[in-house]
Amino acid sequence: MKIGLTGATGHFGSIVAETLLKTVPAENIVVSVRRPEKAAHLQAQGVDVRHGDFDQPESLAAAFAGIDRLLIVSADGDNDTRIRQHKAAVDAAVRAGVGFIAYTSVGDADNSTLFLAPVHKATEGFIRESGIPYSFLRNNWYLENEAGSIQAAAAGAPWVTSAEDGKVGWATRRDYAEAAAAVLAGEGHHNTVYELGGEPLSQGELASVVGAVLGQEVKLQQVDDKAYAEIMAGAGVPEAALPIVVGIQAAIREGALNHPGGDLAKLLQRPLTPLDEGVKEILAAK
Protein backbone atom coordinates (compact mmCIF):
# COMPACT_ATOMS: atom_id res chain seq x y z
CA MET A 1 0.00 0.00 0.00
CA LYS A 2 1.39 3.37 -1.04
CA ILE A 3 0.75 6.36 1.23
CA GLY A 4 1.18 9.81 -0.30
CA LEU A 5 1.19 13.32 1.08
CA THR A 6 1.53 16.83 -0.27
CA GLY A 7 3.45 19.63 1.39
CA ALA A 8 5.93 17.25 3.00
CA THR A 9 8.58 19.96 3.40
CA GLY A 10 6.24 22.37 5.22
CA HIS A 11 5.87 22.73 8.98
CA PHE A 12 2.88 20.38 9.12
CA GLY A 13 3.72 17.90 6.38
CA SER A 14 7.26 17.36 7.59
CA ILE A 15 5.93 16.13 10.93
CA VAL A 16 3.46 13.83 9.15
CA ALA A 17 6.31 12.35 7.09
CA GLU A 18 8.51 11.95 10.16
CA THR A 19 5.68 10.21 12.02
CA LEU A 20 4.83 7.86 9.16
CA LEU A 21 8.45 6.75 8.89
CA LYS A 22 8.21 5.30 12.40
CA THR A 23 5.66 2.67 11.34
CA VAL A 24 5.51 2.60 7.53
CA PRO A 25 8.37 1.32 5.32
CA ALA A 26 9.99 4.26 3.56
CA GLU A 27 9.50 2.66 0.13
CA ASN A 28 5.73 2.79 0.74
CA ILE A 29 5.72 6.56 1.31
CA VAL A 30 5.38 9.01 -1.56
CA VAL A 31 5.77 12.76 -1.09
CA SER A 32 4.64 15.34 -3.61
CA VAL A 33 6.55 18.62 -3.29
CA ARG A 34 7.10 21.73 -5.38
CA ARG A 35 10.85 21.64 -4.83
CA PRO A 36 12.11 18.06 -4.62
CA GLU A 37 15.59 19.22 -3.60
CA LYS A 38 14.12 20.38 -0.28
CA ALA A 39 13.07 16.79 0.40
CA ALA A 40 16.54 15.31 -0.13
CA HIS A 41 16.61 14.17 3.50
CA LEU A 42 13.48 12.10 2.89
CA GLN A 43 14.83 10.66 -0.34
CA ALA A 44 17.99 9.65 1.53
CA GLN A 45 15.79 7.59 3.85
CA GLY A 46 14.18 5.76 0.94
CA VAL A 47 11.04 7.87 0.51
CA ASP A 48 9.76 8.28 -3.07
CA VAL A 49 10.08 12.03 -3.65
CA ARG A 50 8.15 13.40 -6.63
CA HIS A 51 7.60 16.84 -8.12
CA GLY A 52 4.02 18.02 -7.71
CA ASP A 53 2.77 21.59 -7.89
CA PHE A 54 -0.88 22.54 -7.39
CA ASP A 55 -0.26 25.42 -9.82
CA GLN A 56 0.95 22.94 -12.44
CA PRO A 57 -1.90 20.41 -12.57
CA GLU A 58 -0.11 18.44 -15.26
CA SER A 59 2.60 17.59 -12.70
CA LEU A 60 0.12 15.98 -10.34
CA ALA A 61 -0.66 12.98 -12.55
CA ALA A 62 2.82 11.55 -12.07
CA ALA A 63 2.99 12.82 -8.47
CA PHE A 64 -0.11 10.85 -7.45
CA ALA A 65 0.36 7.77 -9.66
CA GLY A 66 0.04 4.49 -7.78
CA ILE A 67 -0.95 6.12 -4.49
CA ASP A 68 -3.59 4.28 -2.45
CA ARG A 69 -4.03 6.82 0.35
CA LEU A 70 -3.34 10.52 -0.05
CA LEU A 71 -3.12 13.39 2.43
CA ILE A 72 -3.85 16.75 0.83
CA VAL A 73 -2.39 19.43 3.10
CA SER A 74 -4.24 22.69 2.49
CA ALA A 75 -2.20 25.21 0.51
CA ASP A 76 -1.29 28.80 1.38
CA GLY A 77 -2.51 31.93 -0.38
CA ASP A 78 -5.73 33.83 -0.91
CA ASN A 79 -9.04 31.98 -0.89
CA ASP A 80 -9.62 31.98 -4.66
CA THR A 81 -6.12 30.65 -5.34
CA ARG A 82 -6.41 27.92 -2.73
CA ILE A 83 -9.81 26.77 -3.98
CA ARG A 84 -8.44 26.51 -7.52
CA GLN A 85 -5.35 24.64 -6.33
CA HIS A 86 -7.32 22.23 -4.17
CA LYS A 87 -9.72 21.49 -7.02
CA ALA A 88 -6.74 20.66 -9.24
CA ALA A 89 -5.38 18.28 -6.59
CA VAL A 90 -8.70 16.48 -6.12
CA ASP A 91 -9.21 16.16 -9.87
CA ALA A 92 -5.71 14.72 -10.22
CA ALA A 93 -6.41 12.24 -7.43
CA VAL A 94 -9.50 11.04 -9.30
CA ARG A 95 -7.55 10.60 -12.52
CA ALA A 96 -4.77 8.75 -10.69
CA GLY A 97 -7.20 6.31 -9.10
CA VAL A 98 -6.37 7.29 -5.52
CA GLY A 99 -8.43 5.15 -3.14
CA PHE A 100 -8.68 7.46 -0.11
CA ILE A 101 -8.15 11.17 0.59
CA ALA A 102 -7.47 12.76 3.97
CA TYR A 103 -7.67 16.55 3.95
CA THR A 104 -6.59 19.15 6.52
CA SER A 105 -9.73 21.24 6.94
CA VAL A 106 -10.87 23.66 9.65
CA GLY A 107 -13.10 23.19 12.67
CA ASP A 108 -16.85 23.16 11.94
CA ALA A 109 -16.12 23.95 8.29
CA ASP A 110 -19.81 23.80 7.32
CA ASN A 111 -20.82 26.63 9.64
CA SER A 112 -17.65 28.50 10.60
CA THR A 113 -17.50 32.29 10.25
CA LEU A 114 -13.70 32.16 10.07
CA PHE A 115 -12.48 33.87 6.89
CA LEU A 116 -10.56 30.70 5.99
CA ALA A 117 -13.65 28.48 6.16
CA PRO A 118 -14.94 28.98 2.58
CA VAL A 119 -11.79 27.36 1.20
CA HIS A 120 -12.25 24.29 3.36
CA LYS A 121 -15.98 24.01 2.81
CA ALA A 122 -15.44 24.16 -0.95
CA THR A 123 -12.63 21.60 -0.85
CA GLU A 124 -14.63 19.20 1.28
CA GLY A 125 -17.35 19.53 -1.36
CA PHE A 126 -14.91 18.71 -4.18
CA ILE A 127 -13.77 15.60 -2.35
CA ARG A 128 -17.30 14.41 -1.57
CA GLU A 129 -18.29 14.95 -5.21
CA SER A 130 -15.25 12.97 -6.39
CA GLY A 131 -16.67 9.75 -4.96
CA ILE A 132 -13.33 8.91 -3.33
CA PRO A 133 -13.61 7.77 0.32
CA TYR A 134 -12.36 10.54 2.58
CA SER A 135 -11.50 11.74 6.04
CA PHE A 136 -11.80 15.44 6.86
CA LEU A 137 -9.34 16.47 9.56
CA ARG A 138 -10.99 19.60 10.89
CA ASN A 139 -8.15 21.22 12.79
CA ASN A 140 -9.04 23.96 15.25
CA TRP A 141 -6.02 26.26 15.81
CA TYR A 142 -2.29 25.67 16.14
CA LEU A 143 -0.71 26.88 19.36
CA GLU A 144 2.24 27.87 17.17
CA ASN A 145 0.03 30.55 15.59
CA GLU A 146 0.48 32.44 18.86
CA ALA A 147 4.29 32.31 18.78
CA GLY A 148 4.56 36.07 18.26
CA SER A 149 2.41 36.85 21.29
CA ILE A 150 4.20 34.24 23.40
CA GLN A 151 7.63 35.63 22.54
CA ALA A 152 6.43 39.19 23.10
CA ALA A 153 5.13 38.18 26.53
CA ALA A 154 8.54 36.70 27.34
CA ALA A 155 10.00 40.12 26.59
CA GLY A 156 7.58 41.74 29.03
CA ALA A 157 4.82 42.86 26.65
CA PRO A 158 1.13 42.46 27.51
CA TRP A 159 -1.07 39.89 25.78
CA VAL A 160 -3.00 42.03 23.32
CA THR A 161 -6.33 40.85 21.90
CA SER A 162 -9.62 42.10 20.55
CA ALA A 163 -11.24 38.67 20.88
CA GLU A 164 -12.87 39.49 24.24
CA ASP A 165 -13.95 36.23 25.92
CA GLY A 166 -13.99 34.16 22.74
CA LYS A 167 -12.43 30.73 23.16
CA VAL A 168 -10.07 28.70 21.00
CA GLY A 169 -9.32 24.96 20.99
CA TRP A 170 -5.53 25.32 20.78
CA ALA A 171 -3.36 22.25 20.34
CA THR A 172 0.20 21.80 19.12
CA ARG A 173 0.94 21.42 15.41
CA ARG A 174 2.66 18.12 16.20
CA ASP A 175 -0.51 16.69 17.75
CA TYR A 176 -2.55 17.59 14.67
CA ALA A 177 0.13 16.18 12.34
CA GLU A 178 0.49 12.94 14.27
CA ALA A 179 -3.29 12.52 14.12
CA ALA A 180 -3.15 12.92 10.34
CA ALA A 181 -0.45 10.24 10.16
CA ALA A 182 -2.61 7.93 12.29
CA VAL A 183 -5.51 8.30 9.85
CA LEU A 184 -3.26 7.68 6.83
CA ALA A 185 -1.67 4.56 8.29
CA GLY A 186 -4.70 3.23 10.15
CA GLU A 187 -7.95 1.50 9.29
CA GLY A 188 -11.61 2.39 9.61
CA HIS A 189 -11.44 6.04 8.56
CA HIS A 190 -13.42 5.98 5.32
CA ASN A 191 -15.97 8.81 5.04
CA THR A 192 -15.22 10.29 8.45
CA VAL A 193 -15.24 13.84 9.75
CA TYR A 194 -13.01 14.49 12.75
CA GLU A 195 -13.28 17.65 14.83
CA LEU A 196 -9.79 18.13 16.22
CA GLY A 197 -8.57 20.48 18.92
CA GLY A 198 -7.88 21.02 22.57
CA GLU A 199 -10.07 22.26 25.40
CA PRO A 200 -11.37 25.70 24.38
CA LEU A 201 -9.72 28.50 26.35
CA SER A 202 -10.00 32.28 26.27
CA GLN A 203 -7.09 34.57 25.43
CA GLY A 204 -6.83 35.40 29.11
CA GLU A 205 -6.60 31.74 30.04
CA LEU A 206 -3.86 31.13 27.48
CA ALA A 207 -2.01 34.21 28.72
CA SER A 208 -2.14 32.68 32.21
CA VAL A 209 -0.60 29.46 30.89
CA VAL A 210 2.17 31.48 29.26
CA GLY A 211 2.69 33.47 32.46
CA ALA A 212 3.02 30.28 34.50
CA VAL A 213 5.70 28.99 32.12
CA LEU A 214 7.56 32.31 32.26
CA GLY A 215 7.16 32.65 36.01
CA GLN A 216 5.82 36.18 35.59
CA GLU A 217 2.49 37.90 35.19
CA VAL A 218 1.34 38.37 31.63
CA LYS A 219 -1.15 41.21 31.58
CA LEU A 220 -4.17 40.88 29.30
CA GLN A 221 -4.84 43.98 27.21
CA GLN A 222 -8.30 43.96 25.63
CA VAL A 223 -8.68 46.46 22.79
CA ASP A 224 -11.04 47.04 19.86
CA ASP A 225 -10.24 45.89 16.34
CA LYS A 226 -8.94 49.30 15.24
CA ALA A 227 -6.52 49.52 18.13
CA TYR A 228 -5.49 45.90 17.62
CA ALA A 229 -4.62 46.63 13.98
CA GLU A 230 -2.57 49.66 15.03
CA ILE A 231 -0.68 47.68 17.67
CA MET A 232 0.03 44.83 15.26
CA ALA A 233 1.27 47.30 12.64
CA GLY A 234 3.59 48.76 15.24
CA ALA A 235 4.83 45.25 16.01
CA GLY A 236 5.85 44.80 12.38
CA VAL A 237 2.87 42.96 10.87
CA PRO A 238 2.76 43.88 7.14
CA GLU A 239 -0.12 46.11 6.11
CA ALA A 240 -1.51 43.47 3.74
CA ALA A 241 -1.73 40.98 6.61
CA LEU A 242 -3.53 43.29 9.05
CA PRO A 243 -7.06 42.45 7.83
CA ILE A 244 -6.20 38.76 8.32
CA VAL A 245 -4.98 39.08 11.90
CA VAL A 246 -7.91 41.35 12.79
CA GLY A 247 -10.30 38.92 11.09
CA ILE A 248 -8.97 36.07 13.19
CA GLN A 249 -9.62 38.03 16.38
CA ALA A 250 -13.14 38.87 15.21
CA ALA A 251 -13.87 35.23 14.38
CA ILE A 252 -12.65 34.12 17.80
CA ARG A 253 -14.82 36.78 19.41
CA GLU A 254 -17.81 35.40 17.49
CA GLY A 255 -17.12 31.85 18.68
CA ALA A 256 -15.80 30.41 15.40
CA LEU A 257 -13.12 28.37 17.18
CA ASN A 258 -15.08 27.55 20.33
CA HIS A 259 -16.26 24.03 19.68
CA PRO A 260 -15.36 20.52 20.92
CA GLY A 261 -12.35 18.87 19.33
CA GLY A 262 -12.41 15.61 21.26
CA ASP A 263 -11.55 13.45 18.25
CA LEU A 264 -7.89 14.52 18.49
CA ALA A 265 -7.08 12.49 21.59
CA LYS A 266 -9.01 9.54 20.16
CA LEU A 267 -6.91 9.51 16.99
CA LEU A 268 -3.68 9.97 18.92
CA GLN A 269 -4.69 7.31 21.47
CA ARG A 270 -3.00 9.44 24.12
CA PRO A 271 -3.62 12.70 25.98
CA LEU A 272 -2.89 15.89 24.06
CA THR A 273 0.43 17.63 24.61
CA PRO A 274 -0.16 20.03 27.53
CA LEU A 275 -0.20 23.64 26.39
CA ASP A 276 2.53 24.60 28.84
CA GLU A 277 4.83 22.07 27.15
CA GLY A 278 3.93 23.54 23.78
CA VAL A 279 4.68 27.04 25.05
CA LYS A 280 8.09 25.89 26.32
CA GLU A 281 8.92 24.45 22.90
CA ILE A 282 7.93 27.70 21.18
CA LEU A 283 10.12 29.72 23.55
CA ALA A 284 13.04 27.32 23.07
CA ALA A 285 12.75 27.62 19.28
CA LYS A 286 13.04 31.41 19.30
Residue-wise pLDDT for 58-108, tens only, equals: 999 999 999 999 999 999 888 999 999 999 999 999 999 999 999 999 999
**Residue 187 included in any domain:** no
- Give phi and psi for 129, each to the nearest 5: -65, -25
Within this chain, do residues 44 and 104 fall inside the same structural domain, yes or no?
yes
Q: Are residues 220 and 100 in the same domain?
A: no
123 plus 152 within the same structural domain: no
Instruction: Kindly state whether residue 189 falls inside one of the protein's structural domains.
Output: no
The 3 state secondary structure assigned to 226-278 is HHHHHHHHHCCCCHHHHHHHHHHHHHHHCCCCCCCCEHHHHHHCCCCCCHHHH
Mean pLDDT (the chain) is 96
Confidence of residue 5 (pLDDT cuts 50, 70, 90): very high
Counting the structural domains of the chain, the total is 2
Which band of pLDDT confidence, cut at 50, 70 and 90, is reported for residue 119? very high
Check whether residue 118 and residue 105 sit in a common domain.
yes
| Residue 284 and residue 234 share a domain | yes
Radius of gyration of the chain from its Cα atoms, rounded to whole angstroms: 19
Residue 47 belongs to domain spanning = 3-139
Longest dimension (CA), the chain: 56
Verify that 56 and 127 share a domain, yes or no.
yes
Instruction: Examine residue 177 and state whether it is found in any structural domain, yes or no.
Output: no
Task: Tell me which H or E stretch contains 141.
Answer: strand 141-142
Spatial CB neighbours of 269, under 8 Å, sequence gap ≥ 6: 182
Claim to verify: residue 58 and residue 152 sit in the same structural domain: no
Say if residue 21 is in the same domain as residue 67.
yes
Do residue 44 and residue 119 come from a single domain?
A: yes
Q: Do residues 223 and 111 share a domain?
A: no
What is the 8-class DSSP label of residue 168? E
CATH of the domain at 228: 3.90.25.10
Q: What mean pLDDT do residues 44-70 have?
A: 97
pLDDT tier, 27 (very low <50, low <70, confident <90, very high otherwise): very high
